[in-house]
Every structure is written in structure tokens, then in C-alpha cells.
Structure 1
Amino acid sequence: MSLRNLSLAAKTTIDGFMTGANKSSIKGSGMEFSQYRSYMPGDDLRWMDWKMYARSDRYYIRESESETNISVRLLVDASASMDHRDGDWTKMEYARYLAASLAYLAHMQGDAVGLYVMREDGIFSLAARQGTQHLNRLFYQLEQAGPKGRFTEPIHYKDIYAGGRKRELLVFITDMYQQGEEIYELLDLLGALRHEIIVLHLMARNEMELSYEGFTTLEDLETGATIQVDTDAIKQGYTQKLTDHLTNTRKALLGRNIDYRLMVTDEPVDEALRAFLQARK
């Protein structure tokens, strides 16, 4: 993350350790053997394993795993709460590197990749395509995506219907900060369109641990409201409420068949991605 150029940072992060991460488990006439199954009337006789027949006097079809290209769409929360800073980095900067790394991974595997930037005044959309030139456009848009205002109002979600009808793998990078239920409304809409959804929930270490001393003033980055607190006095109650909040968030997303992972922004991007992909394997 010391590399300021997104394309170079993404290439450095991904190269060498995640090749083939999204190989499909669809069975068919691919190159890598997967399993045998009993012959069924109508099966293609080209995939009959005659050696198995000679050994067992039974008909078996040889199945293999086939590689597939998928369409990946990255959704990036660009609301003002993503400007929260812990140390040298904001959530938005972490989100940019995370999205850029995933985009480069998809490009490296021949997958189409697109982008939604969730802004207060609407949704910026970049259709999922393949190619180096398209990837560079995506990096440019990520670099321009600055945190501002509140999360996208539900009235703008209709813009999502203007996209293609193809099912996509959606990776939503967000801090899950919402005034009401607007993020859940968005996820319900995306689920109704039958997309597969992954939520990468970003939190900073100082949010997780309330690592401030004595009296301090906290500001809501989206509304500007401030509150003075004695962090030493409220830390125990804060920790319990945060635990309850994260538990409820996880349950709400898993109940919607959404893959969920909490990421803390002091974790190196490559380690966070490796742990996430291994968990999904």
C-alpha cells in the first residue's frame, strides 16, 4: 500500500499467488479430471471410460472440471464515512487498493470486470468488459472516487436496472454505515436480480478498539454531528454494542445468502485477500 499508483499496486499485490482462484466447479468436458459417474441414457459416448468398463463391466462417464470466464462487478461505497482515517490510511484508500487488486485478478484470469461507485448524487456505472484498456479506465475511475456526502439514496437504485441482464459476481466494498436501511435495500435489489453477492465490510482498528484516551470529540462524517465522550468510561459498553452490531450485520447478510467478510484496514491487502479467497475455496 506504499505504492500510490493503483495499477502497479494491484499488479504487485496479485501477481504470483492467486492464479486460478475462481476456477469453476462446473462439471463437463474440461481438461482436469474431477470424478466418475454412472452412465445415463443420452450421455455423450465420447466421455465413456472404456477402461473402467473393462475392469468393472459397468458403464461410467468421465467428468472433468472446466475453466469458465465470469463477469465481476466491483461496488465501492464512496460516502463520506469512508473518509475515516486510522494511521496513514483512510477506508477509501484501502477500498481503492482492494478493488484494484480484485480487478487485476479478474483481468489476469480473462474475466470481464466492471464497476459501480455508490455516490450521494447517483451511481457511476462502468460496464463489465475485458481488456487492458478497459482495466485502465476502471483504475482511473477508482482513483477519482472520493468520499463525499451520504450513501446513495434508494431513488437512484433504479439506475442498476439500466445495466445488462447477465448475472454477475458482485463484490461490495463498504463500511456498512447507513442512516436507515438503504444499504440493505440495495442488497435486496441486487439479490432480486439473481446476482451472487459478496460484502467486504471495512472497519478501522481505532473503531474496533475505541483506541482514544480520556475525553474526546467524535464526529459523524456524513451528517457533521459531534458528540463528546469519555472513552475510558464507555469502552466496555462500546465493545459489547459493537460485537452485537457486527453479529447482527453478519446474520442479516447471511440470511440474504450474501457472502460476508469483515476486513480491518490495518491488515495488508494481500493477506486479507488470501484469507478471504481461501475461506471461499
Structure 2
Amino acid sequence: MNQDPAINPAGLRHRAEAHANAFPALLAEAEHLAATVLLGDHGRRRAGMGDEFWQYRPAVAGDPHRLIDWRRSARGDEQFVRQKEWQAAQSVMFWVDDALSMTFAGGDDRPTKGHRARVLALALCVLLNRGGERFGLANRGTPPRRGEGQLSRIAGHLMALPGESDYGTPNARVLPAGSRAVFLSDFFGDPQPVSDALTRATDRGVKGALIQILDPDEEAFPYDGRTVFETMSGKTRFETLKAGNLRDAYLKRLADRKAHLQDLCRATGWRYLCHHTDAGALRALMWAYRALDHAL
């Protein structure tokens, strides 16, 4: 196994932008009832408080005289109201597991799970920023904002040292009501906190996606004979002379964990993807792009 290479936030962002360049800007759509409303610079094509002109409509009884566009109305016998767009920007929050289990990689030819999670999260932030959306980081309680400064801020946070625990726990309490969220983790820890977080998030009108990131060795269990298994912190250690005898039980437990996450997502209206670090990041980014676009 190997640890994350020492790279700076600028390098991480450069790689994330390389993935993002293959995509059109992501224009997130606001939730109908609990959207985070912002007089931003892209419209939702709904009448409201925005600044951008949308269309003319015939005036009806009860329309204030100040809303009538007299220049347009002068072209004929009918009076018209000049409508503007209701503009809304969606807040998207990311939880990127920074626990020690995410520092695992089964070989030098592939990235650690944590590195892949950070690149995917930051690439999505680049897309959101291009679309005028706001994005934040739940790990550090970083509130959703947009702009180049926010990209640099999140890149810096993502490059912080990993936590001290073996497994991470998402926190739904920092997710704005009506926002969207993306959780990236191996989800190898206690599943109950994940269930609690998604249930709490759903109760607040938050929808989103779970991306489970695994190393191929964690899927195949290519171990046999005398093997020592230990957590990344070294707090838990198990030695066996017949590791191959554990394969079936391990694979069943992993399948059960995946099934639990899929059932949880179906019950809460979230989406689930299992992504492997030996596969290209672009496919996972495409999936997340579509998942966010349809999490309405």
C-alpha cells in the first residue's frame, strides 16, 4: 500500500480542471420549494425578482401601472408587462472522507482512495463555479460560496492532513435546507451514522449522491496464506495463516455493505455509485454531473 503523494492545492486543482474541461458548465436547478435564492447571473426562466429581461406578456386586471412597458404597448392597442427572470443559484455541499482508511492504495500504479475523492470533488466544484453555483465543504463547515477564491479555499482544505480516526462520519447538520450534497468515501465504517446523516439530510429537503470509492484489491481480496491485516492507524491488527479462507466471508460482507448503501439511497431519493481507483476519474465525474443535474 502507499500514501498520498505530497502535492499542493494548485496541483490538485490543475488535475481537477483537466477533468472538468471535458464538460459543459453545470447549471444546477433550484429546488421548487426550498431553493437557496440568489440574485445571481443566470436565470431560471421563471417570473420573479431577477434583473434579466425574459419576455413580454399581456397585461391583466390587477397589474400595477408601474409594471407596464409603455414603449412596447405603444406598438398596438394592447398593453404589455415586461417580465424578468427569477434567478436562483443552488448550493451544493461536499463531504470528502478524510479518515485514515482513505489513504489506502493496493499498488503504486493507482491513486489512494482519498486522492481520487479529492480530485472528483474539486472537479465538480470547478463545474459548479462555471455555472454560477455555490459550493461548500461540509468537513470544515465551509459555507457555500462561488468564485475563484472559494475554489482555492476548498483546494487548501482538501489538502489538509487526514484525520486521526480509521473511518469517517458524514455530518448532515451543516447542509443548508433545500441544498444538494455529494458524499465521497469508502463507507467502510459503522453504517449507522451514514444512515442517520442521509435521513437527517432528506428531512431538510437535501438530495444528492453517494460515491463509494474502493481500491481494486478491496474488491478482489487477492490475499492467501499468511497475511497480517491491520487498519491504517494500526489500532486493529489481525494475523492469519490462511487468508484465502476468509475471502468468501469478506466478499459477502462487502456485497452486503453495498446493498445497504443502495437501499438507503433508494429510500431517501439519493443516488449511489461505486467507483474503483483503477478506472479513469472522468466516468465518475460524468456520473456525478448527471446525478446532480437530476437531483431535483
What amino acid sits opposite 2:205 in the alignment? R
Give how far 1:189 is off: 2.0
Contact 2:100–2:165 (Cα < 8 Å) also in 1? yes
Task: Please say if 1:12 is aligned against 2:18.
Answer: yes
The one of 159, 164, 171 equivalent to 1:143 is 159
Equivalent position of 2:236 in the other structure: 225
Give how far 1:28 is off: 4.5
What amino acid sits opposite 2:23 in the alignment? F
SS of equivalent residue, structure 2 residue 159: helix
Whose relative contact order is higher, 1 or 2, with alpha carbons under 8 Å and at least 6 apart? 2
Task: Please say if 1:95 is aligned against 2:117.
Answer: yes
The one of 113, 127, 130 equivalent to 1:105 is 127
Q: Which runs of 5+ in 2 are unaligned?
A: 33-43, 48-59, 64-85
Choose between structure 1 and 2: higher strand proportion. 1
Contact 2:137–2:143 (Cα < 8 Å) also in 1? yes
- Percent identity between the aligned chains? 20
Contact 2:124–2:289 (Cα < 8 Å) also in 1? no
Give how far 1:258 is off: 1.8
**For residues 142 and 90 of structure 2, what CA distance do their matches in structure 1 show?**
16
Contact 1:83–1:147 (Cα < 8 Å) also in 2? no
Which region of structure 1 is more displaced relative to structure 2, 238-247 or 130-139? 238-247
Structure 1 residues 65-84: aligned runs within 5 Å:
69-84=89-104
Moved segments of 4+, more than 6 Å: 24-27
Contact 1:72–1:170 (Cα < 8 Å) also in 2? yes
Equivalent position of 1:61 in the other structure: none
TM superposition score normalised by structure 1 = 0.73
- Cα deviation code 1:183-206 (max 9, x no counterpart): 222222222221112111111110
Q: Which runs of 5+ in 1 are unaligned?
A: 31-40, 45-65, 118-123
Give how far 1:218 is off: 1.0
**For residues 269 and 277 of structure 2, what CA distance do their matches in structure 1 show?**
25
Let me know the Cα RMSD of the aligned residues. Answer: 3.4
Give how far 1:278 is off: 4.7
SS of equivalent residue, structure 1 residue 233: helix
Equivalent position of 1:252 in the other structure: 264
Query: Are residues 145 and 76 of structure 1, via their aligned partners in 2, closer, same or farther at CA, if it must alter by over 3 Å?
Result: farther
- Cα deviation code 1:93-127 (max 9, x no counterpart): 1111111111111111111110011xxxxxx2111
- Cα deviation code 1:233-279 (max 9, x no counterpart): 23234333322331122112321222111111211111221244456
Equivalent position of 1:195 in the other structure: 206
The one of 269, 282, 285 equivalent to 1:270 is 282
SS of equivalent residue, structure 1 residue 85: coil
**For residues 224 and 203 of structure 2, what CA distance do their matches in structure 1 show?**
45
Considering only CA atoms, is the larger Rg found in Structure 1 or Structure 2? 2
What amino acid sits opposite 1:204 in the alignment? D
State the aligned residue count.
241
The one of 194, 197, 222 equivalent to 1:211 is 222
What amino acid sits opposite 2:151 in the alignment? L
**For residues 164 and 236 of structure 1, what CA distance do their matches in structure 2 show?**
38
Task: Please say if 1:134 is aligned against 2:156.
Answer: no
**For residues 216 and 225 of structure 1, what CA distance do their matches in structure 2 show?**
14
TM superposition score normalised by structure 2 = 0.69
Query: Are residues 211 and 218 of structure 1, via their aligned partners in 2, closer, same or farther at CA, if it must alter by over 3 Å?
Result: same
**For residues 19 and 180 of structure 1, what CA distance do their matches in structure 2 show?**
34
Query: Are residues 76 and 15 of structure 1, via their aligned partners in 2, closer, same or farther at CA, if it must alter by over 3 Å?
Result: same
